[in-house]
Structure 1
Amino acid sequence: MGAHGLLENEPESIDYTVHEAWNEATNVYLLVILVSFGLLIYARKNKRKIMRIFSLPPTVGINQEPNFYDSLQKVRLRQQLEMYSIARKYDQHQQQSQADSVQLSME
């Protein structure tokens, strides 16, 4: 009967350890899932900070992409130069037409 009692207790202890291990494993999985959701929310809020960490530092030899405001200033400068050249052409045309009309009136 003593041997029968040991055999009877042994499966219960195995079942108990299996259940205990299962509970611990599920607790670990739940903890991993919660931490993953927390990191996902943090990553969505701080995407730029994270991308700055993983981006490569700019090298000295390679030109970087031009800044938007720099390109905007260049566009404005180009527009001003075009307007200046149009105004100069208009002024020259006006001066020529005035000189022609003066010469015609003198003759």
Structure 2
Amino acid sequence: MAGSYGVMNDDRSIDYTVHEAWPEATNVYLIVILVSVGLFMYAKRNKRKIMRIFSVPPPEETLSEPNFYDTMSKISLRQQLETHSISRKYEHQQPQSQADSAQLSLE
């Protein structure tokens, strides 16, 4: 059992390698925890600086591409204008046809 990680050796003596390595591992864990807490506090205080680093401006290609909702609103506006124009033409033609019918009835 020389290669095993047990506490007892073949000669029934206690293996102290785990006990000797424990303080070193504890120190490493403590350092990792302290650095993590420090980075968390720094990130909390400087959130805007960090977000500025990771935010990427959109490329020019996407800006030239039209937005779907803008296109739909323009189409809707164009349809409303065409409808209004047709109704105005119809209103202007309506009194003339009434005047013609009135003249016909007088004769």
Structure 2 residue identity aligned to 1:22: T
1:67–1:27 CA distance, 2 compared to 1 (3 A): same
Q: How many residues align?
A: 88
From 20, 23, 34, the counterpart of 1:19: 23
Q: In the alignment, does 2:92 pair up with 1:88?
A: no
Distance 1:34 1:72, change over 3 A: farther
- The structure that is helix-richer by fraction is 1
For structure 2, list consecutive stretches of 5 or more residues without a partner in the other structure: 1-14
Deviation digits for residues 9-56 of structure 1 (CA, Å, limit 9, x no counterpart): x95x864641232121232244346546739x859x84xx66x79xxx
Give the letter aligned to residue 20 of structure 1: E
Give CA-to-partner distance per residue, 1:68-99, whole Å, 9 cap, x none. Answer: 32222111111000111111222222221011
Structure 1, unaligned stretches of length 5 or more? 1-9, 59-63
- Normalization by structure 2: what TM-score? 0.50
> Share of identical aligned residues, percent?
11
Q: Distance in 2 between matches of 1:99 and 1:15?
A: 114
Q: Which amino acid aligns with 1:27?
A: I
Q: What TM-score, normalized by structure 1, do the two folds share? A: 0.50
> Relative contact order (C-alpha < 8 Å, sep 6+): which is higher?
2
Give the whole-Å Cα distance in 1 for the aligned partners of 2:30 and 2:24. Answer: 10
Amino acid at match of 2:81: Q
Tell me what 1:73 maps to: 74
